Chains A and B, each alone.
Chain A
Amino acid sequence: MTAFLASLHYARWAVSALLLIPLAGAVAIWPAPARSAKRIALAVALVELAVSLGLWWAYDPGGPAMQIGGYLDWIPKWGITYRVGIDGISLFMVLLTTFLTPLAVLGSWAGITRREKGYYALLLVLATGMLGVFVATDLFLFYVFWEMMLIPMYFIIGIWGGKGRLYASIKFFIYTFLGSLLMLVAILVLYFNAYRSAGTAPSFALDDILRNATLPAATQYWLFGAFFLAFAIKVPMVPFHTWLPDAHVEAPTAGSVILAGILLKMGTYGFLRFALPLFPAVALNRTVTAVVVTLAVVGIIYGALVAMVQPDFKKLIAYSSVSHLGFVVLGIWAMTVQSVQGALMVMINHGISTGALFFLVGMIYERRHSRMVADFGGIARVVPAYAAVLTLVSLSSIGLPGTNGFVGEFLVLLGTFRTHPLAAGIAATGVIFAAAYLLWALQRVIYYKLDKPENEKLTDLTGREWGVLVPLVAAILWLGLAPGPVLRRMEPSTRRFIETVQGRPAPAVAQAAPPGPVPGAPAPGDDGPSGAVAGARLPSP
């Protein structure tokens, strides 16, 4: 497979193609008749998936930090370039995006009945925006993608959403916009600093800025704050999470899936790629760490507790996202190879499991036009297949061993325990709470007595719905039973991340590669991040 891809020069065009294919698809939908819009969208999304699958083999875990790139001058006057690449962190975010996009199209098949062309075109544009965020290695380019995916999501919630869609869409937009504009100023300050201290050509490339920035300590705190706010709103971390329940509940099913599955990961991805590597001294500062870890733990517990009392199933899942993402942030800040890998696993798992839960809620909503837990009960007797899938997915979301959810949360807790035992201990109760709110909801929806006559005529899963759910279930089981290949691909990049932030080689752990230098020579021009960043480092207390 690797040789075959090499013969296609896959590494040269793959990422750029991934960005262009959905855009081209969106344009192709324009002249087509409305009926065929969803077919075109599905075909485009499947092509996209096929192209992206090659990354699995083409990515070389032992190779340079950024692979399979692309480069073009864009605005040379300011050193702005089109510069993309993939590492072990973005690889899985890209795959998750391309995996969920066709499912989102398929999941909208019956639910979206008006202005279909616009809907599917926006969905495809959204895919480009999200992929762009995950592959951009130029700060300006990253910012443009980061903002551009706002517009399609804003329209998807605002036009095809539920009753409160107008409020939800504008809240979603303005929250994100606030954070990202402050980040924009921070990017500019970084850029000027790097440009002046290096004395070379101006550049927005992440590598150049990592190497050259030498900021005074006080400025670093402000800039980190701006980046942190932008990403924390997106994650969302408590107390910046209030846009999330509105947006998730009002969005159409596919919108919720994309929102939970991918958009939220952009925040945690931002931590991994930008906020921590750029400002390691601030991020590792004892007070900052304490605050962030506390917020993460509070998010885990608070999200779970609020989820427990939701009468609306969709809102319940929305709050469960707050809880799950708390694990991710905790794992990232715990700074061990295991915990960061675990955080990445939770990011993937949450995309799959929560995405599946949103699909399942959407399916029952299409039949019954209600999402209230109290409106159901005992439907396992009417729709046994649906009930079985819902149970399995719920268990994976809880983190039952053998499903994907277990692997991620276990690794996070294991890794965190080494550095923040107390936080790990409290966070572990979050897993119990998760079991409580999901199992309790499950019980009330599919078990108990079948006492509502409206529920007696529910139909079970259709072929199309099986088409949506089978890949998700397969992924749940695969990642739960054999996560090895995934972890192997993540490991070097995780290690590199920790080295960049801590400025020293990460200690070896049992299941990781043998101790010693990182396998594979760093890319040319990438040799100095840790050393150069150390120059920007604060005197540690």
Chain B
Amino acid sequence: MTLDLDTVGGLLLSALPETVLTVWALALLLDAAWRHREPGAQRRTGLLALGGIALAFAATVWLWASGARVPGIASSLAVDSFRFAVDAIVLVSAALAVLLSMDYLEREAIRIPEYYVLILFAAVGMMLLAGGEDLFVVFLGLELMSVSVYVLSGIDRRSPVGGEAALKYFLLGAFASAFLLYGIALLYGAAGTTKLRLIASQIGPLQLRSHVMLLAGMGLLLVGFAFKVAAVPFHMWTPDVYDGAPTPVTGFMSTAVKAAAFAALVRVLLEAFGAAETHQLWAPVIWWLAAVTMVVGNLVALAQRSLKRMLAYSSIAHAGYLLTALVGSYGGSTAGAAAFLFYLLFYTLMTVGAFAILALKGRGGERDVLIDDLAGLAETHPWLAFGMAVCMLSLLGFPGTAGFIGKWYILVAATGGGYGVLAVILVLTSVVSAGYYLPVVMTMYMKPASHDQAHAGVLVPRLAGATLAVMVAALLVFGFWPNRVLDAAQAGSHAFLPPGITTITLPVPVGN
């Protein structure tokens, strides 16, 4: 289906998922404001938000399946499979956040129906990020997403830690946005345009590869994105913010927010700077970011006693894995982008799963749940322990789980692109990560509970239980039969192939 962006219909159709979700969110906001005091309003809002997400998801899948595309260069919002793939992942993550929040908010007595509306707005921002063909759209999406998430992280007004988290996130986030904006300004100064594809076409004729303004702009842009994806050394805010936010929000932040910022980074790097020669400019930077992020994230996670903080650092480490997938990607080789998409989906499932189980175990923000507090969970709650074990092994990248196939795909992309050393760093840091994922499994299965009533308060609501079961099943099933998802990820990455090439089965060799 070819869309004509000069007509209103074509334009609307190209942005159908975003439009649907925005309209739905605005209506829901009115509704929530109107019926604030009614009992059950919060749950109803949540269910309605879920409906909106489902509609947007259907629209995304429909556009994807019908092969929607635009002739020539999309001016502001890309219409390609990469955008749809990331949209789908973001919407899944948002849906999981809503599903897992329903009982959580009631239990923690957080009565703010706007919570769900904020998740929807954040999702719209993320979808703009995933599709932004123009640096301004990217910036708009980033701000829409960030502002919503600032509020979400401090939504529990009575919690001082939540307030601290929100303030910290806001201040550092604003700082990062400024970097990004300044980078955009410099790029505009150098290339005379903010459209990604046009920047790419200007670099050659204008001899911009050694132009200071372009290099500075790229650098600032990278800093801004590195803040958002929590790559070391721009990760300082992450542990405190993740720790202070309500746990379902933490799950949402560490997956969807990261996914969207990453997607925008991928698109900017591959579309604006994706030529093989320009790739040489940023590949070393990403290489080092990836290496340092993996090393620091994993080593610091090793020292954590609190489960929530451990998961926060583990999500930093995973940002390093995702960056590894990126290093080898450029216009001619999209294996990295495909690996990125595949990993992102299952990273979302296993991380949200781990946070969800933590939310079931803890109380009052879960900040005080130590890894040791899980002792004996396998005796009283075998299925919960099993779910947690699968999530941990999947995060570790153990065969039989989808996390392994994801890590494998990243390794395929890295070694295939000639980055063997980075692949070795990845596996070595993965060994380190066994040092903190395994103790969780060990504690649940091999240590006795500290007292009889240790897990008496752990109740699994039906909704959360069913959601978890589906997630864990997906991790196991796709760990053995990943073919369908691999195909989808590959199709998603083909958005970045230069015109004329339609399929690449494996990365093109870059030297040996």
Contacts and interface: CB of A to CB of B under 8 A. Distances in A.
Interface of A: 75-78, 143-144, 147-148, 151, 154-155, 158-159, 165-166, 169-170, 173-174, 177-178, 181-182, 184-185, 188-189, 192-193, 195-196, 202, 216
> Nearest 10 CB-CB pairs, A to B?
A181-B427, A144-B399, A158-B446, A188-B415, A147-B399, A178-B431, A185-B423, A159-B446, A174-B434, A177-B434
Given A75-B483, A181-B431, A188-B423, 10 more contacts: A77-B487, A78-B412, A158-B442, A178-B428, A182-B424, A184-B427, A185-B423, A192-B416, A192-B506, A196-B512
Contacts of B423: 185, 188
B490 A77 contact: yes
Contacts of A166: 442, 446-447
B465 interface: no
A143 B408 CA distance: 11
Contacts of A148: 399-400
Contacts of A188: 411-412, 415-416, 423
A34 B496 CA distance: 56
Interface string B26-38: 0000000000000
Interface in B380-414: 393, 398-400, 408, 411-412
Contacts of B430: 181
A148 B431 CA distance: 15
B442 A192 contact: no
Contact of A185 (B398, B411, B482, B490): B411
A143 B412 contact: no
Interface string B110-121: 000000000000
Contact of B400 (A144, A174, A178, A182): A144
B483 A76 contact: yes
A56 to B, nearest CB: 31
B435 interface: yes
B411 A184 contact: yes
16 contacts: A77-B490, A78-B506, A147-B398, A147-B399, A148-B400, A155-B445, A158-B445, A166-B446, A170-B435, A181-B427, A181-B431, A184-B411, A188-B411, A188-B416, A192-B506, A195-B506
A196 B509 contact: yes
A75 B445 contact: no
B438 A159 contact: no
A77 B445 CA distance: 37
Nearest to A193: B512
A202 B411 contact: no
B505 interface: yes
Contacts of A193: 512
A143 B397 CA distance: 13
B420 interface: yes
A177 B490 CA distance: 29
Nearest to A184: B427
B398 A181 contact: no
A184 B427 CA distance: 9
Contacts of A174: 431, 434-435, 438
Contacts of B151: none
Nearest to A144: B399
A165 B431 CA distance: 20
Contact of A189 (B400, B408, B415, B438): B415
A96 B267 CA distance: 54
B284 interface: no
For chain B, the bracket of interface size reads 20 to 34
A169 B445 CA distance: 12
A151 B412 contact: no
B479 to A, nearest CB: 10
A189 B420 contact: yes
A154 B445 CA distance: 11
B55 to A, nearest CB: 32
A189 B411 CA distance: 10
A155 B446 CA distance: 8
A185 B424 CA distance: 7
A159 B448 CA distance: 10
A144 B400 CA distance: 8
Contacts of A75: 482-483, 486
Interface string B351-367: 00000000000000000
A195 B442 CA distance: 40
Contacts of B487: 77
Interface string B415-449: 11000100110011011001100110010011100
A169 B486 CA distance: 34
B301 to A, nearest CB: 15
Interface string B480-498: 0011001100100000000
Nearest to B379: A115
A189 B512 CA distance: 10
Contacts of B435: 170, 174
Nearest to A159: B446
A143 B404 CA distance: 11
Contacts of B411: 184-185, 188
Contacts of B427: 181-182, 184-185
Interface centre among B412, B415, B416, B430 (most CB of A within 10 A): B415
Nearest to B445: A159
A177 B438 CA distance: 12
Contacts of B408: 184
A450 to B, nearest CB: 39
Interface string B89-113: 0000000000000000000000000
B493 to A, nearest CB: 13
A458 B279 CA distance: 75
Given A178-B431, A202-B505, A185 B447 contact: no
A151 B438 CA distance: 10
A189 B483 CA distance: 22
Nearest to B431: A178
Contacts of B412: 78, 188
A76 B408 CA distance: 15
B434 A77 contact: no
Interface centre among A143, A144, A170, A185 (most CB of B within 10 A): A185
B424 A170 contact: no
A177 B505 contact: no
A202 B434 CA distance: 31
Nearest to B429: A181
B483 A192 contact: no
A170 B438 contact: yes
Nearest to A76: B483
A188 to B, nearest CB: 4
A119 B416 CA distance: 41
B486 A77 contact: yes
Contacts of A202: 505-506
B490 A143 contact: no
Contacts of B415: 185, 188-189, 192
A184 B416 CA distance: 13
Contacts of B438: 154, 170, 173-174
A154 B439 CA distance: 12
B446 A165 contact: yes
Given A148-B399, A155-B445, A202-B505, A185 B420 contact: yes
Given A77-B505, A202-B506, A173 B434 contact: yes
Contacts of A170: 435, 438-439, 442
A143 B405 CA distance: 12
Contacts of B431: 174, 177-178, 181
Contacts of A143: 399
Contacts of B445: 155, 158-159
A454 B485 CA distance: 64
A174 B483 CA distance: 30
Interface in B454-512: 482-483, 486-487, 490, 505-506, 509, 512
B446 A181 contact: no
Contacts of A165: 446
A321 B130 CA distance: 57
A148 B445 CA distance: 18
A68 to B, nearest CB: 24
